[in-house]
A and B are shown apart, each in its own frame.
Chain A
Amino acid sequence: MPESRSILITGATGLLGRSVLQRLLAADARLRAVVLVRDSSSCASIADTANVHGRVTLVEGDLRSAGLCLTSETLAMIRRQVSAIIHLAASTSFSNTLEDARVVNTTGTLHLLELARECRGFERFAYVSTAFVAGRRTGVITEELASPSAGWVNAYEQSKYEAELFVCREAADWTILRPATVVCDDRNGAVSQLNAVHRALRLYRAGLVAMMPGINGSTLDVVTTEFVADAIARLALRDDARGKIVHLCAGEGALPLGELLDMTYACWARDSEWRRRGIARPPLVDLATYALFERSIEEVGDASIKRLTRSLSHFVPQLALPKVFDTTTARALLGDGAPPVRDFWLPMLQRLFVDGHATLGTPRAA
């Protein structure tokens, strides 16, 4: 990498992007960042970072269009200055149609790859994917390109998978980082952005969901923002990460679903008001039984329970597709693994349900 370089980063207004940008700037005082945002007026915190460091340039654009809706001056500036792209932006909703997911996640990535090809002295395209490009596959998931044969649980997974294929095909030098689902900021359990997991937990806590897909051997692989953002910042530009696919996952530290439910319901039961309701712990069921239940809700449920159940259907089937994410490459590169889920799951529940979450921002699906 050149002595004084510029990176282009996307998704810096998002949960992970924010943290990654801060870490990159803090780690390398010479680093300059061109930050692609959709609306610079709503990016006060990034603008502040720019004022403090004078190393951040905000550019307004959108992944959905070829040329990213950037002005020709901006494009020229990027082509001249940018030697690496760290691509985090994505449409992270699990309920998107395939068309909507693809337009940002797949085609958007392609647009960025096209721009990368035009950059002089371009070195690295770091793509932040998801561990769940594995889709419906079960068993040990290696840090390699997935085969599409098993299909996916939702369009988000598929669109991210397709983007990975483009990255490997189109970029001369790439790194793919695949986080598991982020559920809290750090080991202390603070939650600064709600996602589908938190919303699902709320529904289960409210006693509005009858069952959970899952079988013996199912685990929940979740991680903290701290771990993922730190790993992305450390690996995205590293030479020895070239051509590597890296699982930023709990891996062996994922929690078996049964144990996770035990912990969760025991935590909720400490609240005597909640305990008195006698809300039953959901049984783990195979996908066929869960599908029958979903069908029955579609047939007999009122509008609100249908909506709730559909919101879960976009991702909970993953729980019945047991997989263990191999983290050999991640460990070798980082020198350590992700914190075990057991370390932060309870603190996260505590923050979310006991202490409340007045400080939470706008919920996003991820």
Chain B
Amino acid sequence: MSAPGISGIAYALPAHRRDLSELAALGQLESDPSLLAQFGFDGVHVAEEETPYSLATTAATTMLSEQRVPPESIDLLLYCGTSSLAFAPHGGTADAACLLASTRRFQYPATRLQYDLGLERASTIALDQLACTSLFAAVRLARATIAVGEARRVLCVSAEFFPECAGREAIFNCTSDAGCAVLVDGGAQRNRIVASAEITKGYYWDADALRNEIVASYFPTAKHVIDETLRRAGWSPNDVTWVIPHNVSVRSWEILLGLAGVPRARLWDRNVSRIGHTLAGDNFINLRDAIDDGSIRPGDRLLLFSYGYGAHWTALAVEA
């Protein structure tokens, strides 16, 4: 069997976009907008009518139809996202606590998505608590499941948003609401997953208490995960054609690339200003856009890296 690969990606962003000055005027930024602009941000997409579930559904439906994938061919659905917020409209979260106290807590987005998409044969697993690395974890799990012959086709769907009260900045990163769907296929012609690595450091679970330590640990651990991924792929840093980032501050990427020994010009950073960061899997959103805009050619070697607050570091090596 050929190595599992990513045979389709689609994403959905809320229709409404707010630029930095609007966000600042609404009190949704902690930092000076000019500093965030220096870090590469310009604005974010904010769900008004959409719910996380609607974004997930749109992304998954689009992906299945674009790739002409019969829903019944999906063996496994991996859903990433906070289930108690999945159906909350308008960024409203007031209902979340009541929901947990009732049998409505069992109204899970993963199972509903399986039904709504017509994934008749798909078993369903939900992933949570991995912050921005959730979709990576789903893709890794999909790859492993395919590798042991338990599935041929796995649909990974992720949707997250920031409740209205949360503001739009997470540690100097402007964050969009989004949904993203990734199809991992045992027989993919492109985007073969060559290697992956991940590290969880439980010591940093209380991110607020250890903020300075986390800032310090981010870079060395990220370098370690990237080095390890490249080592497993048998690539040198210079072999990487594109780094497909999570859309955090471009400044932090420049530092990380310096550490990893990958030239700055290899960073595909076009979506940092357009979308900003998302909890839903901006690397995969970027991968889709980089393929669409012709940046990526078959055979290119791609490095995807993301960090999940709380604290997880993860990377994938993908051959386009």
For B259, give its contact among A283, A297, A304 (CB under 8 Å).
Answer: A283
Q: Give the Cβ gap from A331 to chain B, nearest Cβ, in Å.
A: 38
Number of interface residues of A (CB under 8 A): 30
Whether A289 touches B255, Cβ cut-off 8 Å, given contacts A276-B203, A280-B224, A300-B172, is: yes
Q: Give the Cβ gap from A253 to chain B, nearest Cβ, in Å.
A: 28
Complex Cα spacing A276 to B219, Å:
19
Complex Cα spacing A51 to B218, Å:
57
Residues of B within 8 A of A296 (CB): 249, 251-252, 255
Whether A289 touches B259, Cβ cut-off 8 Å, given contacts A207-B217, A208-B212, A282-B220, is: yes
Q: Which of A277, A280, A292 has the most CB of B within 10 A?
A: A280
Q: Give the Cβ gap from A211 to chain B, nearest Cβ, in Å.
A: 6
A210→B215 contact, CB < 8 A? yes
Residue of A with least CB distance to B221: A280
Residues of A within 8 A of B165 (CB): none
Residues of A within 8 A of B255 (CB): 289, 292-293, 296
User: Quick check: is A263 within 8 A (CB to CB) of the other chain?
Assistant: no
Q: Give the Cβ gap from B31 to chain A, nearest Cβ, in Å.
A: 8
A277→B211 contact, CB < 8 A? no
Q: Which of A279, A281, A293 has the most CB of B within 10 A?
A: A293
Q: Give the Cβ gap from A257 to chain B, nearest Cβ, in Å.
A: 15
User: Quick check: is B35 within 8 A (CB to CB) of the other chain?
Assistant: yes
User: Quick check: is B254 within 8 A (CB to CB) of the other chain?
Assistant: yes
Complex Cα spacing A280 to B219, Å:
9
Residues of A within 8 A of B118 (CB): none
Q: Give the Cβ gap from A341 to chain B, nearest Cβ, in Å.
A: 24
User: Quick check: is A28 within 8 A (CB to CB) of the other chain?
Assistant: no
Interface residues of A in 45-85 (CB under 8 A from B): none
A288→B220 contact, CB < 8 A? no
Residues of A within 8 A of B251 (CB): 292, 295-296, 299
User: Quick check: is B70 within 8 A (CB to CB) of the other chain?
Assistant: no
B259→A285 contact, CB < 8 A? yes
For A211, give its contact among B31, B211, B259 (CB under 8 Å).
Answer: B259
Whether A289 touches B212, Cβ cut-off 8 Å, given contacts A207-B217, A210-B219, A282-B220, is: no
User: Quick check: is A286 within 8 A (CB to CB) of the other chain?
Assistant: yes
Chain B interface category by residue count: 20 to 34
For B211, give its contact among A210, A280, A302 (CB under 8 Å).
Answer: A302
Residues of A within 8 A of B203 (CB): 276-279
Residue of A with least CB distance to B252: A296
Complex Cα spacing A297 to B251, Å:
11
For A210, give its contact among B31, B201, B202, B216 (CB under 8 Å).
Answer: B216
Whether A210 touches B212, Cβ cut-off 8 Å, given contacts A292-B255, A296-B251, is: no
Residue of A with least CB distance to B212: A305
Whether A210 touches B172, Cβ cut-off 8 Å, given contacts A286-B258, A289-B255, A296-B252, is: no
User: Quick check: is B19 within 8 A (CB to CB) of the other chain?
Assistant: no
B215→A280 contact, CB < 8 A? no
User: Quick check: is B17 within 8 A (CB to CB) of the other chain?
Assistant: no
User: Quick check: is A206 within 8 A (CB to CB) of the other chain?
Assistant: yes
Whether A279 touches B259, Cβ cut-off 8 Å, given contacts A292-B251, A296-B252, A304-B212, is: no
Residue of B with least CB distance to A296: B251
Complex Cα spacing A207 to B202, Å:
14
A207→B258 contact, CB < 8 A? no
Residues of B within 8 A of A292 (CB): 251, 254-255, 258
Residues of B within 8 A of A297 (CB): 215
User: Quick check: is B49 within 8 A (CB to CB) of the other chain?
Assistant: no
Interface residues of A in 259-306 (CB under 8 A from B): 276-283, 285-286, 288-289, 292-293, 295-297, 299-302, 304-305
Question: Chain B interface secondary structure, helix, strand, loop or mixed?
Answer: helix
User: Quick check: is B164 within 8 A (CB to CB) of the other chain?
Assistant: no
Residues of B within 8 A of A301 (CB): 212, 215
User: Quick check: is B288 within 8 A (CB to CB) of the other chain?
Assistant: no
Residues of B within 8 A of A172 (CB): none
Q: Give the Cβ gap from B167 to chain A, nearest Cβ, in Å.
A: 16
A289→B217 contact, CB < 8 A? no
Residues of A within 8 A of B120 (CB): none
User: Quick check: is B66 within 8 A (CB to CB) of the other chain?
Assistant: no
User: Quick check: is B128 within 8 A (CB to CB) of the other chain?
Assistant: no
Interface string of B207-228 (1 = CB under 8 A from A): 0000111011111110110000
Interface string of B189-203 (1 = CB under 8 A from A): 000000000010111
Residues of B within 8 A of A366 (CB): none
Residues of B within 8 A of A209 (CB): 216
Residue of A with least CB distance to B172: A300
Residues of B within 8 A of A206 (CB): 213
Residues of B within 8 A of A276 (CB): 203
Q: Give the Cβ gap from A60 to chain B, nearest Cβ, in Å.
A: 43
Complex Cα spacing A299 to B35, Å:
8
Residues of A within 8 A of B215 (CB): 210, 297, 300-301, 305
Complex Cα spacing A302 to B251, Å:
17
Q: Which of B199, B211, B220, B254 has the most CB of A within 10 A?
A: B220
Complex Cα spacing A141 to B308, Å:
46
Q: Give the Cβ gap from B118 to chain A, nearest Cβ, in Å.
A: 44
Complex Cα spacing A276 to B200, Å:
12
Interface string of A325-340 (1 = CB under 8 A from B): 0000000000000000
B212→A302 contact, CB < 8 A? yes
Residues of B within 8 A of A299 (CB): 35, 38, 172, 251
Residue of B with least CB distance to A279: B217
Residues of A within 8 A of B223 (CB): 283
B219→A283 contact, CB < 8 A? yes
Complex Cα spacing A280 to B218, Å:
9
9 A-B pairs (CB sep. < 8 Å): A206-B213, A210-B217, A278-B203, A283-B223, A296-B249, A296-B252, A299-B172, A302-B211, A305-B212
Having A208-B216, A304-B212, one finds 7 other A-B pairs with CB under 8 Å, namely A208-B212, A277-B203, A278-B217, A280-B221, A283-B223, A295-B251, A302-B211
Residues of chain A touching chain B, judged by Cβ–Cβ distance below 8 Å, are: 206-211, 276-283, 285-286, 288-289, 292-293, 295-297, 299-302, 304-305, 308
The 4 A-B pairs with the shortest beta carbon distances in the complex, nearest first, are A289-B258, A280-B220, A277-B203, A210-B219
